[in-house]
Copies of this chain bind each other. A is one copy, B any other.
Amino acid sequence: MWEVLADRGFGGLTLRAVATSMGVSTGMLMHYFPTKRALVAHALHLLETRTAQRPRRERPTEGIAALRAMLLDILPLTPGDTARNRIWVSSWDLALADDGLGAEQADRYTRLRASISPHLEAARAAGELPESADPEQLAATAVAFTHGLVVQALFDPARFTEAVQIAMLDDFLASISDRSGQGR
């Protein structure tokens, strides 16, 4: 199922495609997934689980450095990260067309921003951000930058190498940080 999703997205997720990929009959697969809806529900569950259980960087630090590690864990820097992101981006079409799935995705975004805000609050307290910085708004901006980079990188991996993505992230983080008085 993961291979089918990584290759064809949710738009190409069918019982027949999964059965073919597994080398079993569609009838065999229908024993487990009687409907397309059951297949999609399992695919979304698999995506959530794999995302939650993916290996992550150590996060020994607070503030901007911790945020950097979090965002690096989201970007498509390895083939596995790329497949996961590709499936997430694919799921947005599904989620935008279904009120229930859309609300789940909105909640997911709210949780992601809420997991980022404390690092930005700590960064502000440590003088890494201007005092006027709004951690909640900046969390939404950091998520926006990261997911927008994900999409561009998925379509153009040759242009958005690992080095380019990391340089863009570091420059983005430098730009939101407080450089006043430090010159450039």
Q: CA of A98 to CA of B3 in the docked complex: distance in angstroms?
A: 15
Is there contact, CB below 8 Å, between B145 and A144?
Answer: yes
A residues 71-115 touching B (CB-CB < 8 Å): 86, 89-90, 92-97, 102, 105-106, 109-110
The segment out of A24-32, A44-52, A60-68, A170-178 that lies at the interface is: A170-178
Q: How far is the CA of A148 from the CA of B109 in the complex (A)?
A: 11
Copies of the protein in its oligomer: 2
Q: Is the interface of A mostly helix, strand, loop or mixed?
A: helix
Q: In the complex the two chains form, what is the Cα distance from A134 to B174 in whole Å?
A: 14
A11 interfacial contact with B, CB 8 Å: yes
Q: Which residues of B contact A137 (CB under 8 A)?
A: 164, 167-168, 171
Which chain B residues border A16 with CB–CB below 8 Å? none
Query: B144 near A93 (CB under 8 angstroms)?
Result: no
Q: Are B8 and A97 in contact (CB under 8 A)?
A: yes
* Residue numbers in B under 8 Å from A155 (CB-CB): 95-96, 102, 105-106, 109
* Least CB separation from A149: chain B residue: B144
Instruction: Indicate if A23 sits at the interface (CB-CB under 8 A).
Output: no
What are 20 A-B residue pairs whose CB atoms fall within 8 Å in the complex? A11-B11, A11-B97, A89-B93, A90-B93, A90-B97, A92-B93, A93-B93, A96-B154, A109-B152, A134-B171, A137-B167, A137-B171, A138-B171, A144-B147, A146-B148, A148-B151, A175-B175, A175-B176, A180-B180, A180-B182
Additional 9 contacts, C-beta under 8 A, given A90-B92, A106-B156, A179-B179: A90-B93, A90-B97, A93-B93, A93-B94, A141-B145, A141-B149, A141-B168, A144-B144, A144-B145
